[in-house]
Amino acid sequence: MKALLALASITLLSACAATRPIEPHLASTGTDFADAQTVTVTLSNFRFTPQDITLVAGKPVVLVLDDTATGGHDFTAPEFFAAATIAPQDAALVAGGQIALSGKQQVSIHLVPAAGDYKLVCTHFGHAALGMTGSIKVH
Ligand SMILES: [Cu+2]
């Protein structure tokens, strides 16, 4: 009986893990980012600017995240990053669907977004409640 329970909880755990993919899809090395559109998102206390980001599905983009505050923020959009294809050299920046920035840090990430409406949030304690949420619309 104990073994059966243990087995059941393992199955449950793996089922949970499967619903939230965090492994980024890597863009093939042949993906051309030379003509990529640059989209800059500013992270400040306590907002994303623009708050609603619009991207074109399937079009390579350089997402520039600019933390203009003295403190850290993060750009957390696990569904967006899971659906996108990310340039191999930038994949390590996306840990668990999140890009963490220190104060005054700027990070560029090359990716090809997939169609969908995604939620964006900063997971620092209290930041979302203060307005640090947004959306990414890819069409
Ligand atoms: Cu924040």
Question: Residue with structure tokens 């169609």?
Answer: 115
Separation of CA 105 and ligand 1 centre (Å): 13
The answer to whether 78 and 33 are in contact (CB under 8 A) is no
Separation of CA 58 and ligand 1 centre (Å): 28
Q: What are phi and psi of 90, to 5 degrees?
A: -105, -5
pLDDT in tens, the chain (139 residues): 555 544 444 444 444 444 444 566 776 666 788 889 999 999 999 999 999 999 999 999 999 999 999 999 999 999 999 999 999 889 899 988 999 999 999 999 999 999 999 999 999 999 999 999 999 999 9
Separation of CA 42 and ligand 1 centre (Å): 11
Amino acid letter at 95? A
Separation of CA 11 and ligand 1 centre (Å): 35
Q: How confident is the model at residue 17, as a pLDDT? A: 41
> What domains, with CATH codes, occur in the chain?
23-138 (2.60.40.420)
Q: How confident is the model at residue 8, as a pLDDT? A: 45
